[in-house]
Chain A
Amino acid sequence: MLCQIFVGLSRTVILFIVASGLTLILGVLRIPNIAHGSLYMIGAFLAFTISKMAGGGTFGFWLAMAGAPLGVALLSLVCERGLFQYLYEREHLMLLLLTFAFSLVFGDLVKLVWGGEYKSVPVPPAFQGFVPLFGGLPFPIYNLFLLILGPVVAIALWLLVNKTKIGKIARAAAVDREMVGAVGINVSWIFACVFVIGCFLAGLGGALVAPTVSVTLGMDATLIMEAFLIVIMGGLGNVWGALLGALIFGLTQSLGILIWPQFGIIFPYMAVIAVLLFRPTGLLKSTW
């Protein structure tokens, strides 16, 4: 039981990192970015390639954790400057479909570059093995690393949004884009920055999850749905909402499997429905 809670918590961290990027983009740019899941998948595949090229081990691992998100961020920058920036004024449905088109293209590009086989990223020696938790339950060190990293990312994101200039401008632009443009700020580039930061988080989530699962095609389709539901559950554009949503989602997922193995996967969906029935616009205040 306790063990399952901790497994759920480390799943929460991954879900939170991906969903926070999604919520950032949704809150500021108003793009429901379906391609986010594909970027997560690309992050995982990039982590595989980088760690393999660096010869595995500790160095390869850290290089992959740094390089994969940066690669994804670069890719997203190209997409944003190339296509998305022309579509901000269009209706949501068009943006949604455009990002879906991107997810299709990315999915096939991954197939083209990496093929359809299962890939795995080695866990560095320092993170192998188990530590005893309260009561002597064995718990993988890597998951402990994730548990520590989650709050770090959350705090860093909070600082970015609330304490830096770019975060403040982005929040202002989310409320009134024309006004921010009118005082002489280049809104287009602010939007690009936010988009890239959000996609960086998707890549980070993918890179972090890579050592714990088999990296494969199709890992994007379920994750993006989960991330969207988390964002909706937490309130659109609210980073803390994403954390709360991820917590609920991760825990119901892991505990649901414990309660009813066959239908464990329906519990998180039921949690989302329950939340939206009582709070139709999410648990925390949404930005729009």
Chain B
Amino acid sequence: MGPVFRKKNLIIIASVVLLFLFPAILPRFYVYMAAIVLIYGLAATSLNLALGFGGLYQFHHAVFYGVGAYGAALMMMKTGLSPWLGFIVGPLIAAVLGLVMGLICIRLSKLYFGMLQISLGSLVWAIVYRWYSFTGGDDGLHGIPVPDLISSGSAAYYFTLIVTLICTYMTYRILKAPFGSVLQAIRDNTVRSEMIGVNVRRHQLMALVIAAFFAGVAGSLFVAVDTTAFPDMLFWTLSMEMVIMCLLGGWLTFMGPMLGAAVIVALRTLVSTYTVYWALVLGIIMMLVIFFLPEGVLGWLMQLSGKRRETGPENNEQKAALAGDR
């Protein structure tokens, strides 16, 4: 479809090749950080499926991420089955949890939806935090026996990279499919979508389950890279951080959350070497973004290049839709 698209493809291919070369050209620590970026990026991308494209106030996404991690970790530690199974079971548990929470929350609108989700998520967090005999309580789980094949740093990185690429591509296809278009139509005008015969609740529920599944994948990848799982992975502050990643990168773009995750993880690593006041820096960055870059970095770049936004709807209508029922 014209030179813009070919250029875009070229950029994607180049960055994928670069990502595959990382372990060869970078020291171990940076490879680890790159894996963490990919994991958070996948989690934020899955969040954006519900938040940016679905228009649902998914305030407690970290629960699915954490449950995916715990599911995978416990599968590897407590059962004698193949540890690879953990990478399937973890995300599936997260998806089931997403379905259950979705069924409970979906009837509510906007802010109430988000708040009930936070409440349910806090319940899950409290259980994980206190159930010492099963989840290790506030100590978390350490030394999780990941499969031998991916136990080395660069192997874990390659595993993370490949899974992340597959999942990101799947998310992209989902959004480009009719389902994705319907989802965005619901976000932009729920009433109108309902009038033309769209089953709003079912589509939103599907989006929640898919988002939860991919967040669970991200969580299980964290287990592969870090061989730990801890209750902070389910705490609501991490959920907020994921929302920030979406916002910073541009929550109306597809690659925005990935970019936001990269920026935040890189900045955190950089700032932490100089000072312990990372939260202060993050807070100030957030304020600047909210005031000056409400569309996120990628959204801003796309506006600069004069291109219409990928997701279609015009600025004002979008804002009206996101502002919701106020």
Contact = CB atoms under 8 A, between A and B. Distances in A.
Interface of A: 30, 32, 34, 83, 86-87, 90-94, 97-98, 100-105, 107-109, 111-112, 221, 225, 228-229, 232, 236, 262-263, 265-266, 269-270, 272-273, 276-277, 280-281, 288
A98 B116 contact: no
A105 B279 CA distance: 6
Contacts of A236: 111
B107 to A, nearest CB: 6
B302 interface: no
Which of B57, B129, B132, B290 has the most chain A CB atoms closer than 10 A to its own CB?
B290
B152 interface: no
A176 B319 CA distance: 20
B116 A276 contact: yes
A98 B244 CA distance: 10
A263 B126 contact: yes
Nearest to A103: B283
Contact of B326 (A34, A92, A107, A221): A92
A92 B324 contact: yes
A25 B126 CA distance: 28
Interface string B284-300: 10110011001000000
A101 B120 contact: no
A270 B286 contact: no
Contacts of A90: 294, 323
A273 B110 CA distance: 16
A175 B131 CA distance: 46
B127 A263 contact: yes
A91 B287 CA distance: 15
Nearest to B133: A262
A277 B277 contact: no
Given A101-B283, A102-B283, A276-B116, A266 B127 contact: yes
Which of B57, B130, B319, B324 has the most chain A CB atoms closer than 10 A to its own CB?
B130
Contacts of B276: 111
A269 B279 contact: no
B323 A92 contact: yes
Contacts of A105: 279-280, 283-284, 287
Contacts of A269: 119-120, 122-123, 126
Question: Across chains A and B, which 5 residue pairs bring their CB atoms closest together, nearest first?
Answer: A104-B283, A108-B280, A105-B283, A101-B286, A269-B123
What class of interface size applies to chain B in its complex with A? Answer: 35 or more
A228 B284 contact: no
Contact of B119 (A86, A263, A273, A280): A273
A273 B116 contact: yes
Nearest to A111: B277
A29 to B, nearest CB: 12
B295 to A, nearest CB: 11
B323 A98 contact: no
A112 B57 CA distance: 33
B237 interface: yes
B259 interface: no
B287 A98 contact: yes
A97 B118 contact: no
Contacts of A92: 57, 110-111, 323-324, 326
B112 A280 contact: yes
Interface in B249-284: 276-280, 282-284
Given A93-B57, A97-B286, A276-B116, A108 B123 contact: no
A236 B110 CA distance: 13
Contacts of A100: 240, 244, 286
6 contacts: A101-B284, A229-B115, A269-B123, A270-B123, A272-B119, A273-B120
Contact of B122 (A34, A102, A225, A262): A225
A246 B270 CA distance: 42
B286 A30 contact: no
Contacts of B127: 263, 266
Nearest to B57: A93
B200 interface: no
Nearest to A224: B236
A232 B108 CA distance: 12
Contacts of A108: 277-280, 283
Contacts of B247: 97
Given A93-B243, A263-B127, 18 more contacts: A87-B290, A90-B294, A91-B326, A92-B324, A97-B286, A104-B282, A104-B283, A105-B284, A107-B279, A108-B280, A225-B122, A225-B236, A262-B131, A263-B131, A265-B126, A269-B126, A276-B108, A288-B326
